[in-house]
Amino acid sequence: MQQNQQRGIALVLSLLMLVAITLLAVSAMRGTTLQEKMASNLNDREVAKQVADATLRQVSTLLPPAAGSAWFSAPIPVPVQGTADRWNNPLVWANAGTVAVVVNGVSYSGQFLVENMGFWTSRQDPTCKPKENPLCERQTYRITVRNQPVNGRAAVVVQVVWRI
């Protein structure tokens, strides 16, 4: 009689062990899935940064803009102090210039805004006075670029001040 009772206990113990192993396996799969999502997001962000940097390099070669060029035919005026930043407005990006850039052999679309900031004095020579020497002031542009986000993927915005 004792043998029959032991077989039943062995069955219950083996089922409990099976449940425990299944829980461990499900937990491991969830952890792996989370790590895969994190790695994918990191990769998307890195590609987005590379697209923004490539767009910036390409747009900076176009400065100073030729009068009447396609992307500078309607220049963005000098921003008024205290107004909202243009690059936070989705309508501005809808009309932004675009360039095709290639990152790791894949073609992407980068967007850009070029704002004419007017003439700024040189910070490299603080003794330079524009009234005495008009060459102290140089044409300045603010370039804002971003990768064109697709399907909710990562978007990176890079902004630089460019002096000619």
Phi-psi region of 138 (alpha: psi -120 to 50; beta: other; left: phi over 0): beta
Distance CA 129, CA 148 (A): 42
Cβ(111)–Cβ(149) below 8 Å: no
| pLDDT (tens place) for every residue of the chain, 164 residues total | 555 555 678 888 899 999 999 999 999 999 999 999 999 888 888 888 999 999 998 888 877 766 655 555 455 667 777 888 777 877 888 878 888 888 888 888 888 888 878 777 776 676 777 667 767 777 888 888 988 777 777 788 889 888 77
Cis peptide bond N-terminal to 90, omega within 30? no
CA distances from 50 to 102, 106, 151 (A): 9, 12, 18
In sign, the C-alpha dihedral spanning 86, 116, 137, 56 is positive
pLDDT tens digit sequence for 130-141: 667 767 777 888
What is the C-alpha separation between 73 and 65, in angstroms, rounded?
9
Whether 123 contacts 130, CB under 8 Å: no
In this structure, the strands spanning 157-163 and 137-147 are antiparallel
The alpha helices in the chain, defined as continuous H runs, are: 2-60, 90-94
- Interatomic CA distance for residues 107 and 50, integer angstroms: 12
